[in-house]
Amino acid sequence: MMIRVVEATAEDVDIWRSLRRDGIRRYSNAFMLSLDQHDASDPAVDAERVVNGGKFSAYSGQTPST
C-alpha cells in the first residue's frame, strides 16, 4: 500500500498530537520532550504550531501511520 504524506491543518491537531505521542513513546530519544511533558502540554499551543505550518502526517489509506 502506498503511503501518503500531507501537511497537517487545524482539523488535524488531534491526529498530529496522537502521532507525536506515539513517536515519543516509541522513540523517546528522538524528541525534545518526554511523554509526561507531551501529555501536560496545552493542545491549543499545538494547534497554533500546526496552523503555522511545517507539521506533517503520513497515511496508509485513510489511517494515520506511525
Cβ neighbours for 47, distance < 8 A, ≥ 6 positions apart: 10, 13
Q: Which domain holds residue 14?
A: 3-64
pTM of this prediction? 0.80
Instruction: Find the helix or strand (DSSP H, E) in which 25 lies.
Output: helix 13-26
Task: Check residue 36 and give its pLDDT.
Answer: 97
Residues in the chain: 66
Task: Check residue 66 and give its pLDDT.
Answer: 55
pLDDT in tens, the chain (66 residues): 788 898 988 898 998 899 899 999 999 999 999 999 999 999 999 999 999 988 888 888 877 775
**8 Å CB contact between 2 and 61:** no
Inter-helix orientation angle 13-26/43-51, to 10°:
110
At 43, the amino acid letter reads P
Total domains, the chain? 1
